[in-house]
Amino acid sequence: MKEGNHDKLKHEFQGFYRILVLSCVIVALFSVAMIYLMVDPDLSSFKSTEPNTEMVSVPVEEDDDYDKVENGIHVRTGFIEAPGMMETVQNCTNCHSAKLVMQNRMNKERWKTTIKWMQETQNLWDLGENEDVIINYLVTNYPPKKKGRREVLTDIDWYELKD
Amino acid sequence: MQRRKFIGKAALASLASIVGADIVYGSKMSPNYIPLALQDPDPFKMFNKDKDMVVLNDKPWNMEAQAHLLDDRVTPNKYIFVRNNGLIPEEIDVKNWTLTIDGESVKQKKTYTLEELKSKFKQHTYQLTLECGGNGRSEFDPPAKGNQWTIGAVYCASWTGVRLRDVLEDVGIKDDAVYFGYHAADIHLSRDPSKEPISRGAPMAKALQDETILAFKMNGEDIPLTHGYPLRVIAGGWPASVSGKWLQRISIRNIVHDGTKMTGTAYRVPCKPVAPGEKVADEDMCIIESMPVKSLITYPKSGATISKGKKLNIRGHAWAGELEVAKMEYSIDFGSTWKTCKLEKPVNRLAWQHFSAEVDFPQEGYYEVWAKATDSNGFAQPMLLPGWNPKGYLNNACHRIAVKIA
């Protein structure tokens, strides 16, 4: 084999190698772009989202208390502040609203039955010593009201009817 | 607003971490769509309800109308009561939504897409009265357990869908079929996926009625999310809980359906009358079927003052479960005398009927206008509370409004 031929072959091989590297780079870039499009078809990362994230200062009370009580009412739930309130908040407002508790006026026995029903069918946990605390809180602060067979109309909002 | 959007995006990420999974198709969510869990806690905006609707419960959502809000002949969404037993489904994929009919008494299990239901079966539109079984519960003494509905858990909307009967004929039902029961996409309050918030139904005779439909439209539009989008059962005249929302599956049973809130004391009343406050064993409680006769004065709003010598035009609606209302009367002297109201026929079976009257008052003073409907079997609304029952269902006592003549 002559020296010249060898050089020529080497030269050709280098040229072929350059094309191979270049096409690999093109394929790789193309793949990255396609994968990106699959993940983010709207090219949302390239769209400016800056205006949407403009921060506006909003007054936030530094001492914002999660369990704040105002005028004898637990602000977050509406419960009357009295012994047993926090036990009631912690055990009775995870699944349902405090509104459901307050609008139901029951005696001790019926609350016991209701709690048992919630434990048997609604995944309520064992309340332990808190059960009596909660029931006492409820019958003291939300006692049943006597309504009779039909109540008189109250809270009538009088207005002049024009025709 | 801008700040809220920012919070929305941040919250989407944190929701994903709370849920413990990526929000699938998160990038395809409409920019206006915020997942329910994050929505504005203002229920009036969230459900497009009028600000005069009354919220009874926010977890689950329960909200009722007032009598004067129900004046329309066909109730618009903004005045329709909300009664949810669980949490509203958080993801609704309408394109892949299917209804499966299964159970012991189907010849074969069959699944339909929404499109198949709409194209394969003839569509029907009916105005159908839906009333919560516990509407009026707040008046019972001793008090009954549950949401304390006053008078506003009733409405009559126009529903479009296909007959359940047509679908069941296509599936093939065995002779031993007794009951249908629905299964839906709502979530139990405890978030326990093995529990259903509610799964009720009705005997086959109700399933096969013309007016018992699988609805996909309410008042000509897609059913609002909180009322069961994209598909629900509508069984007019029965406790509204029979009309299952977010419908995914109907089981044709060879026994009385035993799903959640079919058993125990739910939607049941004592089989025999009991004294107020009496304990009733579960086995002595019977399932409520047709709702009783009832009516509402929707105009004027209670509290109207008019001048002496003027007549008062009153109007409202009356309904009677499976039956028709045969007679409508009013009294301004606490039931001593009754006068007849003009009463229209229902536009179709199980739609509420409209009544009106022109009322004369003899002299100045305080009056109550009481309304009383009588059904086609001769049963009328009581002026006092009907029989007490442990769960406070079926209070169909007369409605009344206060009027002053000055």
CATH label of the domain that carries residue A119? 1.10.760.10
Which residue(s) pair with A138 in the sheet? none
> Is A112 a domain residue?
yes
**Residue contact A158–B384, C-beta within 8 A:** no
Evaluate whether residue A158 is within a structural domain. Answer: no
- A56 with B141: Cβ contact below 8 A: no
Residue A109 lies in a domain: yes
Q: Are B293 and B323 in contact (CB under 8 A)?
A: yes
CB < 8 Å to B402, chain A = 153, 156
Q: In the sheet that B98-102 helps form, which strands lie side by side, from edge to edge?
A: B110-113, B98-102, B247-253, B179-184, B201-203
Query: Residue type at B29?
Result: M
The Cα B49–Cα B225 span in angstroms is 12
Q: Same domain for A134 and A88? A: yes
Measured distance CA(A127)–CA(B200) in Å, rounded = 30
Pairing of strands B98-102, B247-253: parallel
Token readout for B339 is 């006068």
Question: Within 10 Å of residue A41's Cβ, how many Cβ atoms?
Answer: 10
Q: Tens of pLDDT along A36-92?
A: 666 666 555 554 444 444 455 555 444 568 889 999 999 989 999 999 999 999 999
Report pLDDT for A46.
53
Can B94-287 and B294-405 be said to share one CATH topology? no
Q: State residue B58's pLDDT score.
A: 86
The CA R_g of chain B, rounded to the nearest whole Å, is 23
Q: Tokens 């249908």 belong to which residue?
A: B180
Positive or negative, the Cα torsion across B33, B36, B40, B43?
A: positive
What is the distance between the alpha carbons of residues A44 and A41, in angstroms, rounded to a whole number? Answer: 8
Whether the per-residue pLDDT at A2 is higher than 90: the answer is no
Task: Count CB-CB contacts under 10 A for residue B261.
Answer: 16
For residue B263, the chain A residue with the least C-alpha distance is A121
- Asked whether residue A148 is assigned to any structural domain, the reply reads no
- Give A-chain residues touching B192 at CB under 8 angstroms: 123
Interface of B with A (CB under 8 A): 2-3, 5-6, 9, 27, 55-60, 139-143, 145-148, 189-190, 192, 195, 300-306, 310, 312-313, 368, 383-385, 397, 400, 402, 404
CA distance A45 to B302: 58
The residue segments making up the domain with residue A114 are 71-141
* B336 bridge partner residues: none
B166: burial class by Cβ within 10 Å (0-12, 13-18, 19+)?
middle
Domain count, chain A: 2
State in Å, rounded, how far the first CA of chain A is from the last one: 117
d(CA B404, CA B361): 10
Task: Write out pLDDT tens, residues B160-212.
Answer: 999 999 999 999 999 999 999 999 999 999 999 999 999 999 999 999 999 99
Q: How far apart are CA A56 and CA B3, in angstroms?
A: 7
B85: helix, strand or coil: coil
pLDDT of residue B7: 39
Nearest chain A residue to B261 by CA distance is A121
**Does the beta-carbon distance from B385 to A105 stay under 8 Å?**
no
Q: Do B300 and A157 touch (CB under 8 A)?
A: no
Closest CA to B352 of B387, B395, B311, B318: B318
Candidate ranges A3-12, B56-65, B104-113; pick with highest mean pLDDT: B104-113
Q: Which positions in chain B touch A104 (Cβ < 8 Å)?
A: 143, 145-146, 148
The pLDDT of residue B28 is 45
Range from B20-24, B276-280, B289-293, B326-330 carrying the lowest mean pLDDT: B20-24
- What's domain B94-287's superfamily in CATH? Oxidoreductase, molybdopterin-binding domain (3.90.420.10)
In a domain? residue A117? yes
Q: Cα separation of B231 and B160, whole Å? A: 10
pLDDT at B246: 98
Contact (CB<8Å) A158/B143: no
In 3D, which of A141, A157, A72, A73 has the Cα closest to residue A103?
Answer: A141
- Residue A2 in any domain: the answer is no
| Distance in Å, alpha carbon of B176 to nearest chain A alpha carbon | 30
3-state secondary structure of B251: strand
Secondary structure letter of residue B240 according to DSSP? G
Mean pLDDT of B203-232: 98
Q: Which residue's entry shows tokens 């990362």?
A: A45
* ipTM (interface predicted TM): 0.84
Residue A124 distance to chain B (closest CA, Å): 9
Across B336-359, average pLDDT: 98
Q: Among A54, A103, A114, select the one facing B56 at the smallest CB separation.
A: A103
Task: Verify cis geometry, omega within 30 degrees of 0, for the bond prior to B300.
Answer: yes
Distance linking the first and last C-alpha atoms of chain B: 50
Of the given ranges (A78-92, A100-114, B257-271), which has the lowest mean pLDDT? A100-114
- Per DSSP, the residues of A79-90 read PBPSTTHHHHHH
**A147 interaction partners in chain B (CB closer than 8 Å):** 139-141, 143
pLDDT band at B398 (very low <50, low <70, confident <90, very high): very high
A34 and A83, same structural domain?
no
The CATH architecture of the domain made up of B294-405 is Sandwich (2.60)
Q: pTM for the whole thing? A: 0.79
Contact indicator for B126, B213 with CB cutoff of 8 Å: yes
Please report the pLDDT score of residue B231 as a whole number: 98
Residue A34 lies in a domain: yes
Contact criterion met (CB < 8 Å) for A96 and B189: yes
What mean pLDDT is predicted for residues B68-93? 96
